[in-house]
Amino acid sequence: MPVPIIEACRKRKREPKLYNLQRFGQEEFPISRNGTFRDNIRGFLREFAEVEEYCIRGMPVWCTLLSHETKNSVIPLYTVEEDVVRSRFNQSYLVHRFNQSYLVFGEELGWSNHFVSRRKYHFIIPIDTEWNMRLQDVVLDLQTHLLHGMIHTNGFGHLICVNGLEGGSTYLCGRELVDLWDRICTNLGARMITVEDLTNKRSLDLRLLYGVAYGYSWFGRWGYKFCRGSYGVTKNDYENAIELLGSLEIDQIEFDFSEHKQFKEMKNIFRHYREMSEGYLKTLRDLLRFMLITKSHAPPKRHETDCT
């Protein structure tokens, strides 16, 4: 359940500051855009976070309280400072450091030539049911957080996981979470952020759906671009494959699948959306784009919300 604002404030020794989740990072940060992340993170913790009374295996924890403008609740954004030299999480550190990333935001160069920083900062919003609980020792290893991003003091980092409505959240959608993360990275002077794009829409890879429809992945709206693919797939191979799929003509698809057992269902889908559209849907890209636009403007179903 979301934590009511009054209850959240009562649990603090002194009256905490509340920041609007949708606007946090737009105007509040009195941080120099020319400054480095190493300097900016100190200002952020000093001005916008309250240190917690406990540590996570010796790592200090700060908390920033964010209010949702349409819900009477408070959402905790935790910042955990990890000392890589002293940390007992070196194994998970290596996974994050050398993970084969799919997308990159910022500089398009790889960062294998950059020295490892001694400290890194984790930004975490736990799952809804843990908003009013203290962080556990295993917090850095969990994949259930609504948001978990990490930035080294040299400004290079990773978006480790995002779990919106389809990932377990009851109140926050993926777009709100990545919007917040994007503002944090931009205002604190992050140099390059990578993310392994494993987002799904039901059972379909979202990067494939958005790639064919728009030419870029779901993360592309925040400036993330193809960096490295699995199985040796290059950027050129990936872009050519996406372009080929998007340019397939619907009539040709119908002909090629005319002997398939699901041909009738497929043809009905094509006919339905062609009748709905004012123009003529010719290619697979036209069809998928129209389907996504139509879905985004459709009234939400009862007890279901989709905000990807």
User: Taking residues 112-136, what's their average pLDDT?
Assistant: 84
Distance CA 156, CA 64 (A): 22
Helix H or strand E encompassing 297:
none
Q: How do residues 191-234 score in pLDDT, each as one tens digit?
A: 999 998 887 777 788 888 999 999 988 899 999 988 877 777 88
User: Taking residues 159-174, what's their average pLDDT?
Assistant: 85
Instruction: List the helix and strand counts (H, then E) for the chain.
Output: 9, 12
Query: Locate tokens 């709100």: which residue?
Result: 176
Question: Could you tell me the maximum CA-CA distance found in the chain, to the nearest angstrom?
Answer: 70
Instruction: Give the per-residue pLDDT at 271.
Output: 92
Token reading at 264? 């009738």
Q: In this predicted structure, which of 58-62, 73-77, 93-97 has the lowest mean pLDDT?
A: 93-97
Question: Which residue in 199, 207, 99 sits closest to 156, CA to CA?
Answer: 99
Residue 24 has pLDDT above 80, yes or no: yes
Question: Which residue in 254, 248, 279, 276 sits closest to 267, CA to CA?
Answer: 254
Q: How do residues 272-291 score in pLDDT, each as one tens digit?
A: 999 999 778 999 999 999 99
Q: Is the pTM of this model over 0.85?
A: no
Helix, strand or coil for residue 19?
A: strand
